[in-house]
């Protein structure tokens, strides 16, 4: 038990003694845990039978399409009305392809292509894949306007830095995925784009006037609501001009005042994961759960590796909040009824919207790499380097720590070579040596006469990467620097900026470097 949970008093004890059955069921309906393993644990199956409202699946829970379908079937057998959610954004953040890298382009590239029909089709393909494996909600699209190029957690997950562009593609993504019977969940309300901290690890502060939020952050969420988004996810950021004490997830002013009253959203409000420091750093997860429900959240994402004992403490904390009047019974019932209504509606849509044969038989979707390559930013140095057409290269891979949302999924050309090592571009890639550079390693010394390819993500955010690139550029003129993240506005550390690092983007990059003839 953590110190925060111990300090929560009644939150440390499971529900015991006579408790109204409806109240107990309402509490459980609002909870969405994760779990360890690739099969449904017995404790989780029991809670689903007792009314647990949802389960969230992560990369660690998935081995194959068949295994995932068996898992979701087991969840549904325990509770046919359970929401089965997954964090599948169709790009760098992927759960379906956590072991191989995503075959989708990702939001920043979709924003740069700026074809809303294409964005809608990409989202539709994500939806069909999720329907095939039995998931009912995806925590996507990312509707944040990435106005801060130093953002460590959004970046290429965003459609762009322009509110209007982001809004167009957010709405298209919502329409596309929901046409398949899978609910979209735009995030992270009211906007995580103007931050330089990761709310997994801290509480970011967005200290801007409400007028700025209305002109920038809220625009894509308005578009998502107009497009019919069934759910919206909160963010654990502090907006002191609206609520100087509580992060958005725990703020009645943000959730009730902005999202419900001003924007008119009537669907399910989902909390971002409550085990993140931005939400539970001082309250503990049980305390944050009770506070989030009181603030207006309907469905609580609890984390990735929950246990029966943790759920006991969370349920007890919510019950204690009801008994002490900090959470009204009516608010709890409202939240639970919204979750049940969402689940029932999605079940009915699944009966009415049939999966196409192509979605049932295809191993994974296929997208034309030419559109992806055309979206890259390419400078004069890159054009000279490409024109030289070297038979092989020295690859310097810049290793930085991925944010928790992306996790350890393979990325870029490294994932493409892993999946298809025999392809022509992969063979070119593997012909030369590979060096890994990190903050802990010494600067590499590439051999003379073989061009150097430096590849990283968000190069400008990492001082050691900037120093390394500066050093190599000083020593030689055959260096090509690629940034597969969100580059700085001046592109100082990106001769080629791909604005994404999915496996599909990696394939497009390899084909640019070594055209198939």
Residues 239-290: tens digit of each pLDDT: 999 999 999 999 999 999 999 999 999 999 999 999 887 666 678 999 999 9
458 tagged catalytic: no
- 18-352 placed in CATH 3.20.20.300: yes
- Mean pLDDT (whole number) for 20-39: 95
Which residue ranges does the chain devote to CATH 3.20.20.300?
18-352
Q: Which of 144, 272, 275, 298 is catalytic?
A: 272
Q: For all residues of the chain together, what is the average pLDDT?
A: 91
Q: Stretch 323-349: mean pLDDT, rounded?
A: 97
Output the pTM of the full model: 0.92
Q: What is the pLDDT of residue 323?
A: 94
At residue 7, does pLDDT exceed 50? no
CA–CA separation, 279 and 271 (whole Å): 9
Contact status, residue 200 vs residue 403, Cβ threshold 8 Å: yes
Mean pLDDT of 345-360: 93
Length of the chain equals 517
Average pLDDT of 292-318? 96
More confident residue, 258 or 391: 258
pLDDT at 278: 66
Pick the catalytic residue from 200, 236, 460, 462.
200
Q: Is the pLDDT of residue 417 over 60?
A: yes
272 tagged catalytic: yes
Query: For a pLDDT cut of 90, what percent of the chain falls above it?
Result: 76
Q: Does domain 369-513 have CATH number 3.40.50?
A: yes
Provide the pLDDT confidence category of residue 197 given band limits of 50, 70 and 90. low
Whether 176 shows a pLDDT value over 70: the answer reads yes
CATH 3.40.50 residue ranges for the chain: 369-513
Distance CA 478, CA 469 (A): 12
Higher-confidence residue: 437 or 130? 130
Cα distances (angstroms) measured from residue 357 to each of 65, 125, 257, 361, 507? 16, 13, 45, 6, 27
Whole-angstrom distance, CA of residue 452 vs CA of residue 504 = 23
Per-residue model confidence (pLDDT) at position 330: 96
Q: Assess whether the previous peptide bond of 190 is cis (omega < 30° from 0).
A: yes
Q: Copy the structure tokens of residue 107.
A: 């939001």
Q: What is the pLDDT of residue 201?
A: 67
**pLDDT beyond 60 at 401:** yes
Determine the pLDDT at residue 362: 85
């Amino acid at each position: 038990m953590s110190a925060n949970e111990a300090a929560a008093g009644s939150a440390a004890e499971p529900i015991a003694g006579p408790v109204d059955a409806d109240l107990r069921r309402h509490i459980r309906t609002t909870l969405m845990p994760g779990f360890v393993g690739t099969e449904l644990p017995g404790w989780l199956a029991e809670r689903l039978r007792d009314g647990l409202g949802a389960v969230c699946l992560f990369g660690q829970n998935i081995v194959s399409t068949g295994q995932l379908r068996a898992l979701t079937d087991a969840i549904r057998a325990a509770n046919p009305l359970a929401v089965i959610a997954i964090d599948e954004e169709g790009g760098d953040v992927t759960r379906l392809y956590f072991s191989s890298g995503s075959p989708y382009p990702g939001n920043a590239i979709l924003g740069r292509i700026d074809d809303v029909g294409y964005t809608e089709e990409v989202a539709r393909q994500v939806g069909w894949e999720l329907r095939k494996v039995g998931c009912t909600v995806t925590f996507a699209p990312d509707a944040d306007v990435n106005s801060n190029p130093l953002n460590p957690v959004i970046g290429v997950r965003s459609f762009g830095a322009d509110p209007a562009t982001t809004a167009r593609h957010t709405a298209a993504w919502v329409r596309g995925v929901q046409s398949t019977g899978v609910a979209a969940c735009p995030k992270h309300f009211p906007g995580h784009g103007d931050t330089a901290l990761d709310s997994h690890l801290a509480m970011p502060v967005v200290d801007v006037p409400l007028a700025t939020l209305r002109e920038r952050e809220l625009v894509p969420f308005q578009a998502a609501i107009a497009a019919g988004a069934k759910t919206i996810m909160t963010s654990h950021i502090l907006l002191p001009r609206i609520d100087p004490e509580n992060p958005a997830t725990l703020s009645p002013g943000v959730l009730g005042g902005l999202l419900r009253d001003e924007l008119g959203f009537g669907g399910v409000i989902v909390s971002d994961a409550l085990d993140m420091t931005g939400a539970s750093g001082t309250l503990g997860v049980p305390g944050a759960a009770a506070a989030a429900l009181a603030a207006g959240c309907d469905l609580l994402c609890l984390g990735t590796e929950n246990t029966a004992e943790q759920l006991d403490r969370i349920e007890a904390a919510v019950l204690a909040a009801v008994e002490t009047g900090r959470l009204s019974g009516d608010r709890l019932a409202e939240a639970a009824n919204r979750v049940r209504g969402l689940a029932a509606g999605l079940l009915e849509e699944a009966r009415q919207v049939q999966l196409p044969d192509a979605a049932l038989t295809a191993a994974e979707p296929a997208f034309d790499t030419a559109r992806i390559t055309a979206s890259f930013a390419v400078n004069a140095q890159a054009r000279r380097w490409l024109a030289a057409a070297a038979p092989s290269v020295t690859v310097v891979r810049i290793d930085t720590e991925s944010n928790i949302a992306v996790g350890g999924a393979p990325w870029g050309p490294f994932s493409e070579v892993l999946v298809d090592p025999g392809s022509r571009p992969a063979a070119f890639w593997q012909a030369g040596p590979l060096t890994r550079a990190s903050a802990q390693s010494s600067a590499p010394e590439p051999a003379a006469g073989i061009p150097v390819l430096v590849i990283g993500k968000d190069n400008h955010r990492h001082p050691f990467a900037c120093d390394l690139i500066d050093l190599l550029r000083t020593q030689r003129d055959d260096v090509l620097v690629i940034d597969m993240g969100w580059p700085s506005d001046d592109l100082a550390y990106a001769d080629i900026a791909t604005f994404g690092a999915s496996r599909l983007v990696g394939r497009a990059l390899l084909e640019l470097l070594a055209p198939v003839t």
